[in-house]
Homo-oligomer: A and B are copies of this chain.
């Protein structure tokens, strides 16, 4: 060994801890955002709306796959969202065995409001970060993300920070 960083001399552990702690904070922000804006909707339902918002109209199977749930679960969640007026089923003229699900205007509006709120919450935190720390943050976070993006995980619902656990 030459200068530092033995197999795990503490630096890696320190960063890991820092990451976990920061993660905890983010989790709280997301919860707060949905609760503050989305009122009576449930999280799984909102997650489905987010998927539609970020990927556009989707077949039911694709939707289920994105959310990591069984198609039957997706079907029934869509049922509820349709009833609530946030999503709609569209028949596909090319293939009668498929349908697409898309947001209604109300649904899109809901997603936008929550996203907006969440973004503003994070911005508020970022604005309290001392200027001299900011430049390092972007570089560091990008380095972290790139290091972890070997196989890009399932894409979209995560964009809203919404998943079943974390």
Q: Confirm or deny: A101 has a beta carbon within 8 angstroms of a beta carbon on chain B.
A: no
Residues of B within 8 A of A22 (CB): 141, 144-145
Residues of B within 8 A of A34 (CB): 165
Nearest chain B CB to A151's CB is how many angstroms away? 10
Other than the given A16-B126, A24-B158, A130-B143, 6 more pairs (CB < 8 A) read: A19-B126, A27-B158, A43-B164, A125-B147, A137-B144, A140-B141
- In angstroms, Cα B30 to Cα A140, docked, is 20
Contact of B123 with A13 in the complex, beta carbons under 8 Å: yes
Number of interface residues of A (CB under 8 A): 62
Residues of B within 8 A of A47 (CB): 165
A interface residues (Cβ-Cβ under 8 A, vs B): 5, 8, 11-16, 18-31, 34, 43, 46-47, 68, 119, 122-123, 125-131, 133-134, 136-145, 147-149, 153-154, 158-159, 161-166
* Nearest neighbor of A158 in chain B, beta-carbon distance: B24
Residues of B within 8 A of A161 (CB): 20, 23-24, 27, 165-166
